[in-house]
């Protein structure tokens, strides 16, 4: 699976994307976030922020969305306009 990080999330994590196999026991976006948060800081605070937006295969998705090994998951902060 491919993970992509955008905007301030990319800056805070120091990583723009990574490839990994779907971890054992991880079936949803919520479980993936919990798994990534176990990496410690700054992962925990960045990925558990209440305003985090997730996209699954380039479509905004809820935390209950099911994952497969070929998915692309993107994390980004809320977008504001002006």
Q: Give the residue extent of every domain in the chain.
A: 2-76
78: exposed, middle or buried (Cβ count in 10 Å: 0-12, 13-18, 19+): exposed
CATH topology classification for 2-76: Ubiquitin-like (UB roll) (3.10.20)
Q: Is the pLDDT of residue 82 over 90?
A: no
CA–CA distance from 48 to each of 17, 21, 32, 41, 67 (Å)? 18, 21, 11, 11, 18
Tens-place pLDDT, residues 46-63: 999 999 999 999 999 999
Residues of the chain above pLDDT 70, percent: 96
Q: Is the pLDDT of residue 64 over 80?
A: yes
Q: Is the pTM of this model over 0.75?
A: yes
């Amino acid at each position: 699976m491919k993970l992509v990080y955008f905007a301030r999330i990319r800056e805070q994590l120091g990583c723009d994307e990574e490839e990994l196999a779907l971890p054992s026991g991880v079936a949803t976006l919520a479980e993936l976030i919990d798994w990534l948060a176990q990496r410690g800081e700054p992962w925990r605070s960045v990925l558990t922020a209440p305003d985090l937006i997730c996209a699954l295969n380039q479509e905004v998705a809820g935390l209950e969305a099911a994952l497969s090994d070929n998915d692309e998951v993107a994390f980004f902060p809320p977008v504001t306009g002006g």
